Amino acid sequence: MEKTNKYSLTEGGIINKLFLVALPMIGTQVIQMAYNLTDMFWLGRLNSDAVAASGNVGLFMWLSMAFLMFGRMGAEIGVSQNIGRGDKAAAQRYAQNALVIAVIIGIALALVYGFGRSILVGFFRIREAHVEQDAKDYLVIVSFGIPFTFLTAAISGIFNGSGNTRVSLLVNGTGLILNMTLDPLLIFNANLGIKGAAIATVIAQIVAACCSYIALVKYKNRPFEKITLPDRWDKEVIKQIFKWVTPISIESFLFTFLAMLASAFVVTYGSGAMAASRVGGQVESLTWLIAGGFSSALTAFVGQNFGAGKWDRINRCFKSASVMMIGWGILVSFVLYLGANVLFKLFIPNNDFVVGIGVDYLRIVAIGQVPGCLEGVAAGFFRGQGKTVPPSISSGASNVIRVILAYFLSFHTALGLNGIWIAMCAGMLIRGFWMYIWYLFYSRTALSDA
């Protein structure tokens, strides 16, 4: 099915094309943030212990992103680069194999989480028995939604790589509306508590996956006329997907695992501290989720132009993207610092102790928002060119430093809990500036070799 150049990112105004791709992706990330905030909003009105329990499980859902990357990023990079080269048949092979990878890994991970919930939740050594049980119940329920989430992500990667990012926005928006509707009904009206929040999330994920699949095979602007699961593995395609995505997956896994270690430090201060960490992390995601959406848009833009050999467009886009994300980082820094108290009371309205912890959290991490945005820019440009190792090295090393700092500052100085927040901010500063400077040097070499 031949298309016009509406979704081609290798021609036309750079800013216009970048916004065409980036705005729906950013909207999708905002929706993902809203999923989590919706759960926290209603669970916070149940009690802060429910927020702490879902927060622990949220880390495992975050950990699953390391495995979700194989389907989504494999499709995004493979489709974008081959469409840029004008090889639509190769782009379709990447799309088909990415779908198979996503479904298989999603099912396997769901089984691990479901049957291993006691061991996994036990990792945190939660002091309150009822909070630990709530976390186990929440984890086993949300595990059912993992394969559907992975399938949705892979299909989103296919559309994103083709330059059409609106489908992901519409699909995830549908899921969000459903989740927002079901949350209060199941948590309070059906008296299911934290289990109700988990069930609402799974139902929304299943509906989103169904909508994604329908879009892939029926939508008039779908990337391929007909797409089915391949009869057999394409070994070369699978090998290339794993070559691209394994460094990204390791980076994501290590980032989350080290965050879980830091969370284990937080848990020693009680469920109130864990609830504050959970809410603070989601509010802070104003930066990193939107930076991540922008980064994914850059991956698609750079992938198509890299495939087409258009280095001038890549370099001009880098400058524009840097300016825009620095501006966003500064804006969020002011919002987090000045509005910390108001933001926290939206989610924990009746617990001044937890709010006090959260205000300290937001005001400390506000300092690291600009480098966090720069990290997203550099990572998107690296990945669009298939260079996935540099972001992984930068992220992995800085996160190891972050955990070491968190342990030392929290338990061996008078900073206590604030030492963990300071260590998190330090990790953001190191990781963001390191990755951005690395790309500046790499781009000079790549341009001279082009």
pLDDT of residue 4: 43
Q: Enumerate residues 6+ apart whose C-beta is below 8 A from 18.
A: 297, 298, 301, 317, 320, 321
| HSE (side-chain half, CA atoms, 13 Å) at 132 | 14
**How far is residue 316's CA from residue 293's CA, in Å, rounded to a whole number?**
19
pTM confidence score: 0.77
**How far is residue 295's CA from residue 377's CA, in Å, rounded to a whole number?**
6
Q: Locate tokens 């989601």: which residue? A: 282
* 367 DSSP assignment: G
**Domain membership flag for residue 397:** yes
pLDDT of residue 48: 67
**Domain membership flag for residue 2:** no
Going from the first residue of the chain to its last (450 residues), give the mean pLDDT of each consecutive group of 10, the final group possibly shorter.
61 84 81 73 76 78 91 94 91 94 96 92 77 89 96 94 88 89 92 91 95 92 81 86 92 82 83 81 75 84 90 91 93 92 83 87 93 92 90 88 93 92 93 93 73
**Domain membership flag for residue 349:** yes
**How far is residue 103's CA from residue 227's CA, in Å, rounded to a whole number?**
15
Task: Note the Cα 256 to chain centre separation in Å.
Answer: 11
**How far is residue 318's CA from residue 432's CA, in Å, rounded to a whole number?**
15
**How far is residue 317's CA from residue 326's CA, in Å, rounded to a whole number?**
14
Residue 156 near residue 220 (C-beta atoms within 8 A): no
Domain extent at residue 444: 14-449
Domain count, the chain: 1
pLDDT of residue 430: 94
**Domain membership flag for residue 363:** yes
CA dihedral defined by 355, 357, 359, 363, rounded to 10 degrees? -170
**Domain membership flag for residue 366:** yes
Other Cβ atoms within 10 Å of 218 Cβ, number: 8
**Domain membership flag for residue 235:** yes
**How far is residue 289's CA from residue 30's CA, in Å, rounded to a whole number?**
7
Closest CA to 18 of 290, 287, 320, 243: 320
**Domain membership flag for residue 323:** yes
For the chain, first and last CA: distance in Å? 32
**Domain membership flag for residue 9:** no
**How far is residue 127's CA from residue 187's CA, in Å, rounded to a whole number?**
24
